[in-house]
Amino acid sequence: MSGNCVFCQIVAGKIPCAKLYETETVLAFLDIAPVRKGHALVLPKAHHPTLWDLPAGLGEDLLAAMQAVGRAVMAATGAEGLNVGMNNHAAAGQLVPHAHFHLIPRHGGDGLSLWAQSAYAGQEEMTGLAQAIRAKI
């Protein structure tokens, strides 16, 4: 637990939440500032700042929670779809430095745009970047 982390304080019961799901390792609750009603957060109870800090074994618990909560959010809200997203680091929009996944219910024509697309200058630029990424794996 990180003492000044708001999610760690929620996990510890020091800050209330609208809890949806809980296991020994995972907690899910409604986002206090939802993009859409039913917007839920799924997070590990242990403090890990980003996706890259999560222990591999925790992935199974997080996936099971996202599947259960996602299905329930869709059913309860009548959503036709669901976005699952995660922001890592402040530059990507992460407001709380505790790894967490957003489950956002969607309805056709709801007007929510998550990001704008861009393009590569050409195939050479794209394959060059792919090569550089592969070299870092």
Q: Which residue has the tokens 């967490």?
A: 100
89 is catalytic: no
Catalytic residue among 48, 98, 100, 102: 100
Alpha carbon distance 112, 102 (integer Å): 14
Amino acid at 82: L
Where would I find the beta strands (DSSP E) of the chain?
A: 19-22, 26-30, 40-44, 81-85, 101-106
Catalytic residue list? 100
